[in-house]
Amino acid sequence: MPRLGGEADKFGNRYESLWAVDAVLDLVDDEQYVEITFEAIGDEAAGVEFFRTTRSGAREYHSIKRQQPDGNWTISRLAQEISPGGRSILRDLTRKIETGAEGVFSSGTSATELEELTERARASDSIQEFRQRISGSGQLSGRFYGPIVDICGDDTAAYVALRRLRVRTKNEPELTKDVERRVRAMFRMSNGDPTDPTAVRLLVADFVTQKLGAQLTVDSFLSHLRGHGVLPLRLAGNGPVGQLIERLNRLYLNEVDRLLINQARIDRLESTAACTVLLDKGKSVMLEGPAGDGKTCVMAQVIDQLTEQGVPCLVLRLDRLNEYDHSAQMVGTRRGLPESPAITLGEFAGDRPSVLCIDQLDALSIVSARQQSAWDAFNELLDEVESYPNMRILFACRSFDLEQDAQLRALASDASRIERMPIGLLDEDTIQAAIAASGIEAALLSGAQLRILSIPLHLYLYLETSNSGKVDFASKGDLFDAFWNYKESRVESLAGQSSVWPRAVDVLCDAMSQRETLVAPLYVMDEYREARTAMASEAVIYAQDDYIRFFHEAFFDYAFARGFLRANSDLVGWLVSDKQHLFRRSQVRQVLAFLRGREQDRARYLQTLKDLLAHEGIRFHIKKLVLDWLHSLPDPTQDEWLVVEALEEQLGGHRWSVVHNSVAWFDVLHEMNRWESWLLADADQIDRAIRLMGAPDVFSARSAVVSGLIAPFRGHSDEWRGRLLWLVQVGYGYTSPEMEDLALALIADGTLD
């Protein structure tokens, strides 16, 4: 016989229906529950939407209210009579739990007072301790000794009732997303295809409506789903899913191991520190540093340590994503997982701590623009991680991209949830030991060369190349050149073909450039099969799943720039004839870096730099990339500033971003006497110079120089009094003795009054 229309309509409320579906999913996913009854008949139904029974026979009653129109659910509102006979939301729930049952109040509107009282009650071992916990809050104490004690009869009964109550606050959109995410993780169609989570959710809700008043068990529920071609897929446990996770992690670790220096890992302190933060502090970690500094190796060591400790982890490289990875689910299923990486790991780990490892985060950067299309899938992954309270994320990202990309910078700036961990350089003892293990005389290397080799990638290039004899180098560009020449000889010897190396490399670079991605289909090198095999043997390229890539992104950058310039291509002409998509940004940067690193190309570099910044056909995002790149240079030169300075008409105020808060650029401008001339210019230029000198890094590192520049202007004018006042107050207390002396002098003469 159908239930009364009013009851069915009541349960048809979308918000209540979502909690009902969530509860039914618990039958499958949480073994402590054995049955659920929705809209029971008689007193059992008073004030609650459903109750469920545990294996021990205990009951758990659920009261669900979508929202409180006037705002927060106060204790007074919850205790307010809703019908004759003294019934109220709170009274109905407390009556249910008088017999030892549990109670749950769920709403899209928060019930802060009730939640605070229940948490303090559960944290107390006795009524006496609870009284102490609420004594400091007149509001909570008043709510407890007022409405709650009135409903329960005495304070002891009220304390017991609060210990048995839980409050859940979740709005409808969040609840819908969580429920459908659970559906995706728990079920598959009978043919193995992923489910439509919305369709399955509605199917479950319809099943609940059909079973109002009846006891619903897991068997009856699964039988109903099977009738619609939906089958359960429990991900938790150590079965096939664990093997899939292990396989992906092993593939990643094998790639890392192929490029180990001397085929041995260099223990990095950051790996142990990262594990401590992830597991003991319960925060995510952002590994950051320049390209080639060993972030991936640190991540690999973290994965090993987590695995040894039995902590489930899953690694994902964002530079491997392509246009088909348009959702988190696709990212997972295209890599052989039953669901998205976050859901797969979360369901596999259950209540255990787990770590999702995301390498090459900079692939999403607007600066590198390697995988801009993957932002939607990435954000979906982050959202999914939120559903697993014990899951943390280990990121690895290049510092330049982290600082220049607003979205990445915002992600890393949440200090309450993410700890940033810079990767340190290799110390001299480690470098010397690695070189000695290779049989090379380390003593012959200068201090400058050892500093270059403190970047692990550079050390790898050096040791790999030194197999053929002594390598002279004064820059990282020299190391890449030597590596290129060495691998050219090796590959052409193995392939049995001369002059094939540059052509094979160019083919792969062109394919990646045209596709605007860091991987290319294996077939693009079909005309160079022997060379492809030799390049793989020499660990220059890596092939997987019919795709191919270079061993390191930095080598792609180098190889593209070398081939581009070898063909005598014009960078500006190439860009003007192109759509200038974001992917071109990194290529522009690498061509400039290639030219800049070679003294014989200095004139061409400066002319290219000028043409890029001046040409009207170059889109602004490219020009901004060039300006940001110039800003990041550790060793800027006077002739580079002369190029920028001469383009006032084309760049306007943007040219000042090159020198803003850069100590290196401050020094260059000081050598050129620009600060002195600007302080004698018009008011706008003076004010700009003062702001630039007051930037935090510059002021902290060069306040002695700044004090000498501005001291002559004491007592010059009211305008200068204001400038000196601002500048000294900006940095007073953490600057040089010279600046402190100037500040004291300004106090003495009344300037700072």
Which position has the token pair 């049989």? Answer: 439
How many residues would you count in the chain? 753
**pLDDT by residue (tens digit) across 364-415?**
887 665 666 788 899 999 999 988 899 999 999 999 889 888 899 999 999 8
**CB crowding 61-85: b at 16 or more within 10 Å, else e:** bbbbbbebeeeebbbebbbeeeeee
Average the pLDDT over 98-127 and give the result: 92
**Residue 239 has what pLDDT?**
52
Residue 324's φ and ψ, nearest 5 degrees, are: -80, -15
Angle at 486 between CA 484 and CA 491, to 5 degrees: 90
Residue 229 in this model has a pLDDT that exceeds 60: yes
> What's the Cα-to-Cα distance from 54 to each of 17, 51, 389, 601, rounded to whole Å?
21, 10, 23, 77
Q: How far apart are CA 694 and CA 698, in angstroms?
A: 7
Residue 291's φ and ψ, nearest 5 degrees, are: -60, 135
Question: How is the chain split into domains, by residue range?
Answer: 5-230, 240-424, 429-504+519-544, 659-753
Q: Is 240-424 a domain of CATH 3.20.20.100?
A: no
Q: How far apart are CA 413 and CA 411, in angstroms?
A: 6
DSSP string, 578-629: S---THHHHHHHHHHHHHHT-GGGHHHHHHHHHHHHH-TTS-HHHHHHHHHH
**pLDDT by residue (tens digit) across 472-515?**
898 999 999 999 999 999 999 999 999 999 999 999 999 998 88
* Arithmetic mean of pLDDT over the chain: 88
Residue 3 in this model has a pLDDT that exceeds 70: no
Q: How far apart are CA 714 and CA 702, in angstroms?
A: 19
Q: Give 185-229 as a 3 state SS string.
A: HHEEECCCCECCHHHHHHHHHHHHHHCCCCEEEHHHHHHHHHCCC
Q: How far apart are CA 413 and CA 427, in angstroms?
A: 28
Predicted structure pTM score: 0.70
Q: How far apart are CA 510 and CA 497, in angstroms?
A: 21
Which position has the token pair 């402190």? Answer: 740
DSSP string, 384-395: HHTT-TTEEEEE
**pLDDT by residue (tens digit) across 139-176?**
888 989 999 999 999 999 999 999 999 999 999 999 99
Q: How far apart are CA 469 and CA 488, in angstroms?
A: 15
- 59-65 and 102-107 strand pairing: parallel
Can you state the angle between helices 553-566 and 476-495, rounded to 10 degrees?
80
Residue 524 in this model has a pLDDT that exceeds 50: yes
Q: How far apart are CA 458 and CA 72, in angstroms?
A: 59
**Residue 137 has what pLDDT?**
84
Q: How far apart are CA 656 and CA 580, in angstroms?
A: 24
End-to-end Cα distance, the chain: 88
**Residue 2 has what pLDDT?**
33
Give the closest residue to 394 by CA, choosing from 312, 493, 484, 458. Answer: 312
Can you list the alpha helix ranges (DSSP code H) found in 633-673? Answer: 638-645, 648-651, 663-671
Cβ contacts of 353 within 8 Å, gap of 6 or more = 278, 279, 311, 390, 391, 392
49: Cα within 13 Å, side-chain hemisphere? 26
Give the closest residue to 509 by CA, choosing from 573, 563, 545, 554. Answer: 563
Residue 11 in this model has a pLDDT that exceeds 80: no
Residue 733 in this model has a pLDDT that exceeds 80: no
At 289 the three-state DSSP class reads strand
Mean pLDDT check: name the lowest of 86-100, 148-162, 243-257, 555-569: 86-100
Average the pLDDT over 418-422 and give the result: 96
Q: How far apart are CA 384 and CA 354, in angstroms?
A: 13
**DSSP assignment, residue 165?**
E
**Residue 10 has what pLDDT?**
46
**pLDDT by residue (tens digit) across 244-284?**
899 999 999 988 988 887 777 888 999 999 999 999 998 99
**pLDDT by residue (tens digit) across 330-368?**
899 888 888 899 989 988 888 899 999 999 999 888 766
**Residue 323 has what pLDDT?**
75
Label residue 11 exposed, middle or buried (CB < 10 Å: 0-12, 13-18, 19+).
buried
Which position has the token pair 């697993």? Answer: 388
**DSSP assignment, residue 87?**
B
